[in-house]
Amino acid sequence: MRCRLLFSCLAGALLLLAMVPQAGGQSLWGVHGPTATVTQMTGPPAGPCGYPTGPIIGGFFYALPWICPTAGFFPPMLPVGDVTVDMLTDHVWVSDGPFVTEYTKAGAVVSSFTNPLLAPLTGLGWGLSPVGVASGVLWLTDGTWAAAVTPPPPPGCAPPVFVVPPFLLIATPLPATDIDYDPGTGTLFLTSAAGLIANEVIGGGPGPFGVFPPPCIGGFLDGIAVDKSAGKRLYATDGVTVAYMFFGGAPAGATFYTTMPPCYPWAGAVPVSGLAFDAAPISYGAGANPGGMAAPPVAGALGEAVSPNASFALTLAGATPGGLAYLFIGTGAPCPAPLFWGCPILVAPIPVIIGPIPVPAGGGFTIMSAIPGGWGGMGVSAYLQWIVARPMPLGGYQTTQALELTLAAP
Reported as a single tens digit per residue, the pLDDT across 293-345 is 789 999 999 999 999 999 999 999 999 999 999 999 999 999 999 999 999 99
Q: How far apart are CA 129 and CA 126, in angstroms?
A: 9
Q: List Cα–Cα distances, 331 to 55, 106, 342, in angstroms.
A: 23, 30, 22
pLDDT score, position 3: 43
Give pLDDT, residue 21: 37
Show me where the domains of the chain are located: 2-17+282-406, 27-278
Cα–Cα distance, 323 to 395 (Å, whole number): 9
pLDDT at 2 over 60: no
CA distance 94 to 124: 8
CA distance 134 to 123: 23
Length of the chain: 410
Query: What pLDDT, in 10s, does the model give residues 78-107?
Result: 889 999 999 999 999 999 999 999 999 999
Asked if residues 33 and 75 have their Cβ atoms less than 8 Å apart, the reply is yes
**With contact defined as beta carbons under 8 Å apart, do 88 and 410 qualify?**
yes
Average per-residue pLDDT for the chain = 91
pLDDT of residue 22: 39
What is the 8-class DSSP label of residue 225? E
Cα separation, 119 vs 61, in Å, equals: 25
pLDDT at 15: 42
Contact (CB, 8 A) for 400 and 299? yes
Question: For 145-198, what is each residue's pLDDT tens digit?
Answer: 999 999 999 999 999 999 999 999 999 999 999 999 999 999 999 999 999 999
Q: CA of 334: how far to CAs of 171, 349, 402, in Å? A: 45, 8, 11
DSSP letter for 294, please.
Answer: S
φ, ψ of residue 34 in degrees (nearest 5) = -60, -30
**Cβ neighbours, 10 Å, residue 389:** 20
Question: What pLDDT is attached to residue 43?
Answer: 86
* 99-119: pLDDT as tens digits: 999 999 999 999 999 999 999
Element (H, E) at 6: helix 6-18
Is the confidence at residue 207, as pLDDT, over 80?
yes
- Architecture, CATH, for domain 2-17+282-406: Single Sheet (2.20)
Which parts of 62-156 are beta strand (E)? Answer: 82-86, 91-95, 99-103, 109-114, 123-128, 136-141, 145-150
Model pLDDT for residues 389-408, shown as the tens digit of each residue: 999 988 899 999 999 999 99
**Environment class of 280 (CB within 10 Å of its CB; exposed 0-12, middle 13-18, buried 19+):** buried
Q: What is the pLDDT of residue 88?
A: 93
Residue range 27-278, CATH number: 2.120.10
- Per-residue confidence (pLDDT) for residue 134, from 0 to 100: 65
Segment 12-59, tens digit of pLDDT: 454 444 433 333 458 999 999 999 999 999 989 999 999 999 999 999
Instruction: Report DSSP state, residue 319.
Output: P
Question: What's the rounded mean pLDDT across residues 259-280?
Answer: 95
Enter the pTM of the model: 0.93
pLDDT given at position 231: 83
Q: 327 vs 75, 77, 118, 218, 357, CA distance in Å?
A: 47, 46, 52, 45, 9
Mean pLDDT across 376-389: 91
